[in-house]
Chain A
């Protein structure tokens, strides 16, 4: 049965896919096949399973809980709409993160149009509930530093470290060549280093 459901999305795709690629042993593929078949309950299950990571991803990418909710809603709807177009190239989770990334860019672009202030939400919000959790000083600095990276660089770090995507998966998720992902990570590293340096200086300034 899982074998059959794994294959469902491929039948409806226009490209033919070699049989060996069809048998992707991804438990999420079955869920996605049910969504493709029009079962709304499968969306609930998907949200229970992957909602937390998608929400965390959207939250860190957009920096505002309102924007993150918008991203999530768009993302779920898009998953519903295009579940049958999933071609089984790689993991379902990477595919969903690609959608979430795309929707986050849309939402941020729309907010930017509303005025520059909207973009700064995540700095204005201050430490949110999650951030109040006790973290090691180091980790908190790193995460604060990451928050200040420019969007594409933050997204690359987010996908690779927080979501555990491989180079290929990350490149597919952001829709860029692998070389671009590599260079974004390199830039992110340099930016992060200088942000951390300035944070350290500020910290030292404080009484």
Chain B
């Protein structure tokens, strides 16, 4: 009886030929030999199957297709922003794939920066932290070892370059927003603190450093990229040489280095070049032999 209860619901699928499990089929056939009720049911289902097989499929009218296509094109023209929406969809689809730690850590750094700046009464802390945090997070969005979604992206239909660009937009935008919020807070909370020019002091370095971090993380891995951009950024803050006897060679070099970080006209174009390079690099790595560390095998 237990057999009957478990097997009789499979009869329709047996009759329709869609019962894929061979063991189910065998058990059902054995049960059929012993159960008249199931044989009668099967006979009915087989008639249904025969009726289905002989059912004609009239050619579908054109009207539904025409109307649906008209609606589709109407929807397209109504929202001129079709491409924009697709881009937005792509960006949004990346949100759950980006390391979750990024968002709170950047926020924490911004809060810390604002707090320290207010405490010390000087904006240098924020100027120091914001570009560095931005670069570190961007190093984390790409590169095999730190990115759980890397494997997925490598096998995806949307080009890795575009995917990378979508993520970059997300994380960079987030960093930008936080930095802007931090500056706003500072302006309101401590109007006395002189904030250096926004673009020159941190927007340009932040953009360049982020792009550099991205490229480096693709080339030498995330951890190395983080170290490299940190060092590159820290050197800028080395104290000026105290020697009064004219600038030495190192001092000249350092001054040049500092002025490099203070020239938006150089930093922005370089950042664009690096970003393009990163996208192309991601595309090249797509089919490449690099396997994500930790997911080997």
- 1/0 per residue, CB under 8 A from A, across B147-165: the answer is 0010111011110000100
B151 proximity list for chain A (CB < 8 A) = 19
A111 within 8 A of B: no
Contact A160 B16 (CB under 8 A): yes
B15 proximity list for chain A (CB < 8 A) = 161
Contact B41 A44 (CB under 8 A): no
B71 within 8 A of A: yes
A25 within 8 A of B: no
Contact B68 A76 (CB under 8 A): yes
Contact B13 A166 (CB under 8 A): yes
- 1/0 per residue, CB under 8 A from A, across B82-96: the answer is 100010011001001
A-contacting residues, B46-92, CB 8 Å: 47-52, 54-61, 63-65, 67-69, 71-73, 82, 86, 89-90
**Nearest residue in B to A131 (C-beta to C-beta)?**
B56
- 1/0 per residue, CB under 8 A from B, across A67-82: the answer is 0011011011100100
A73 proximity list for chain B (CB < 8 A) = 63-65, 67-68, 71
A125 within 8 A of B: no
Q: How large is the interface on A (under 10, 10 to 19, 20 to 34, 35 or more residues)?
A: 35 or more
- 1/0 per residue, CB under 8 A from B, across A128-144: the answer is 01100101101110110
Contact (A47, B156) CB under 8 Å given A160-B18, A165-B18, A186-B9: no
B12 within 8 A of A: yes
B9 proximity list for chain A (CB < 8 A) = 182-183, 185-186
Residue of A4, A5, A51 most packed against chain B (CB within 10 A): A51
**Nearest residue in A to B155 (C-beta to C-beta)?**
A7
B128 within 8 A of A: no
Contact B155 A52 (CB under 8 A): no
Task: Tell which of A54, A77, A135, A189 touches B60, judged by Cβ atoms closer than 8 Å.
Answer: A54
B59 proximity list for chain A (CB < 8 A) = 52, 55
B44 within 8 A of A: yes
Q: Which segment of A9-17, A112-120, A198-206 sits at the interface? A: A9-17
Contact A161 B48 (CB under 8 A): yes
Contact A76 B64 (CB under 8 A): yes
B242 within 8 A of A: no
Contact B69 A146 (CB under 8 A): no
Contact B12 A161 (CB under 8 A): yes
A-contacting residues, B4-63, CB 8 Å: 8-10, 12-13, 15-18, 20, 41, 44-45, 47-52, 54-61, 63
A126 to chain B, nearest CB (A): 16
Contact B65 A135 (CB under 8 A): no
A19 to B8, CA, bound (A): 36
Contact (A22, B155) CB under 8 Å given A54-B60, A143-B55: yes
A44 to B62, CA, bound (A): 10
Contact A130 B68 (CB under 8 A): no
- 1/0 per residue, CB under 8 A from B, across A150-194: the answer is 000000010011101111000000000000001101100100110
A56 to chain B, nearest CB (A): 5
**Nearest residue in A to B152 (C-beta to C-beta)?**
A16
Contact A189 B16 (CB under 8 A): no
- 1/0 per residue, CB under 8 A from B, across A14-56: the answer is 1010010010000000000100001010011001000111111
B45 to chain A, nearest CB (A): 7
**Nearest residue in A to B10 (C-beta to C-beta)?**
A167
A139 proximity list for chain B (CB < 8 A) = 47, 50-51, 54-55
A139 to B51, CA, bound (A): 4
Contact A51 B56 (CB under 8 A): no
Contact (A5, B157) CB under 8 Å given A72-B60, A130-B58, A164-B16: yes
Task: Tell which of A43, A80, A143 touches B51, judged by Cβ atoms closer than 8 Å.
Answer: A143
A33 proximity list for chain B (CB < 8 A) = 157
B93 proximity list for chain A (CB < 8 A) = 11-14
Contact B63 A69 (CB under 8 A): yes
A33 to B67, CA, bound (A): 22
A-B CB contact pairs (8 Å), 16 listed: A5-B157, A8-B156, A8-B157, A40-B72, A44-B69, A55-B57, A80-B68, A139-B47, A142-B47, A142-B50, A143-B55, A146-B48, A160-B13, A167-B13, A186-B9, A193-B44
Closest 4 A/B residue pairs (Cβ): A55-B60, A72-B64, A8-B157, A76-B68
Q: Which residues of A contact B (CB under 8 A)?
A: 4-5, 7-8, 10-14, 16, 19, 22, 33, 38, 40, 43-44, 47, 51-56, 59, 65, 69-70, 72-73, 75-77, 80, 84, 129-130, 133, 135-136, 138-140, 142-143, 146, 157, 160-162, 164-167, 182-183, 185-186, 189, 192-193
